[in-house]
């Protein structure tokens, strides 16, 4: 899988889980203890390689696993 494909999957999955939970990007950034800019950039696909630590924080905030964020 190319990093481009993985990136867009991560972006899509974060957005999907966030919307399912009715959480704004701002709220997710606070729950995950990350900057709003980080969340916006990941969802927009501008951050091709979020760290595992960042993905872990987002996954915890959304109540999903990092694996769920990486799925196709």
Write out pLDDT tens, residues 27-71. 999 999 999 999 999 999 998 789 999 999 999 999 999 999 999
Structure tokens at 32: 């995950």
Say which CATH architecture domain 3-70 belongs to: Orthogonal Bundle (1.10)
pLDDT at 60: 98
pTM of the model: 0.89
Element (H, E) at 40: helix 36-44
Residues in contact with 34: Cβ distance below 8 Å, sequence separation at least 6, in sequence order: 54, 57, 58
Lowest mean pLDDT of 3-7, 14-18, 21-25, 63-67, name the range: 3-7
pLDDT at 7: 58
pLDDT at 54: 97
Q: How far apart are CA 60 and CA 45, in angstroms?
A: 20
Collapse the DSSP code of 48 into the 3-class scheme (helix H, G, I; strand E, B; otherwise coil) and give the result.
coil
Closest to 11 measured CA to CA, from 36, 41, 43, 38: 43
pLDDT at 72: 85
């Amino acid at each position: 899988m190319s990093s481009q494909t993985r990136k867009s999957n991560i972006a899509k999955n974060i957005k999907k889980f966030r919307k399912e939970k009715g959480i704004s990007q701002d709220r997710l950034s606070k729950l995950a203890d990350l900057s709003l800019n980080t969340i916006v950039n990941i969802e927009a696909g501008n951050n091709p390689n979020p760290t595992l630590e960042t993905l872990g924080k987002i996954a915890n905030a959304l109540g999903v696993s990092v694996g769920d964020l990486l799925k196709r």
